Amino acid sequence: MIVTRSWLEEYVDLEGISNEELTSKLNNIGLEVDEVKEINIPKNVVVGKVISCIKHPNADKLNFCRVDVGDEVLDIVCGASNVKDAEFVAVAKIGAVLPGDFEIKKANIRGMDSYGMICSSSELGLPELDEGIMILDDSIGELVIGKELREYKKINDTIIGIDLTANRGDCQSIYGVARDLSAAFKRELFPFEFFDHYKSKIGIAREVKVNLEGEFDGAIEYNLFFIDKFNIKLLTKLRDKFVELDAKDEFDYISLYAAHSSG
C-alpha cells in the first residue's frame, strides 16, 4: 500500500506533525513503513503563462514561445508539440539546476535566443506523464504567475510505502490509513465530500428514491449518455503515478484514483 502525505491530509488533520512523527506513528499502530520518498521540485522553477507560441522560423519541430513569469516575459524555444495548447506551464529559469545536475543557461537554438526551459514532469523529478511538457492547472492550488513550484505542497509531496499484513484489508485505501491515524493522533477525521445527487440531472451511479403505496400509475424515465473524453486534472495523474497505479487511459485515471481513495 502506498500513500502520500498530502492525500492523507485531505481526510485527517496532520498539521504540526513531522514526517518522522508520521512514519513512527504508522509503525507503532502496526502499519509498517518500508519506504519513504520526498518529492522536492528545484528552485527557480516557476509558474509561467504562455502569451504566444509560433513555429520556429528555422526549425519545423520547434516552437518559439513568449512566457510571462511574473517579473519578466521570457523568450523560450520549446520542442514539445503540446505547448501550443498550454496556458500555464512550469518554467525553469536561468540558473535553475534540474535533476541530474542539469543547469539552465541562456542558449541559442537554431538562431533564436532561449532564456529558460518549459519543463515536462520527468525533467522536474516527478513521474513521467503524457508526452510533452507538463501543463499546470488549479488542482495543485491557485496558479500565481511567477510563484515557485516548490511552494505547491500537493506536488512537493512525501510518498510512504506501507507493508500491510493480511489482516489489515481495512487500510487498503487512503481513507482507511487516515482513519487509523486519526485515532492514533487523536485528530479530526474529515468526511468524504459528495455532491448532492439530486442537484444534477446526469451523473454516474445516480441514485433515485421512489416510495410507493398501493398501485403505481405512471412512467419512470432514464437517459443513457456516453462520455468519450475526460478532462483529467494534473493532481489526479500525479497521485496515481506517485502510488504506482497503472492507468492506461482517462477512465483508468479516475476509477483507480477513486478506488485508492476510498477502497
pLDDT, tens digit (0-9, with 9 covering 90-100), for 46-96: 999 999 999 999 998 999 999 999 999 999 999 999 998 899 999 999 999
pLDDT of residue 197 exceeding 50? no
The rounded distance, in Å, linking the Cα atoms of 76 and 117 is 6
**pLDDT for 204 beyond 60:** no
| Rg of the chain over all Cα atoms, to the nearest angstrom | 23
| 136: nearest Cα among 214, 224, 46 | 46
CATH dotted code for 2-40+165-185:
3.30.56.10
Overall pTM > 0.95: no
Please give the span between the terminal C-alpha atoms of the chain, in angstroms, as a whole number.
11
Overall CATH class of domain 45-151: mainly beta
Q: Measure Cα distances from 149 to 124, 155, 206, 250 in Å.
A: 10, 8, 38, 25
pLDDT, residue 205, reads: 55
Can you name the residues that pair with 52 across neighbouring β-strands? 66
Alpha helix stretches (DSSP H) within 100-173? none
Which pLDDT score is estimated for 29? 97
How confident is the prediction for the chain on average, in pLDDT? Answer: 91
Q: Where are the domains of the chain?
A: 2-40+165-185, 45-151
Phi, psi angle pair for 82, to nearest 5° = -85, 0
Angle (CA) 194 235 190, round 5°:
35
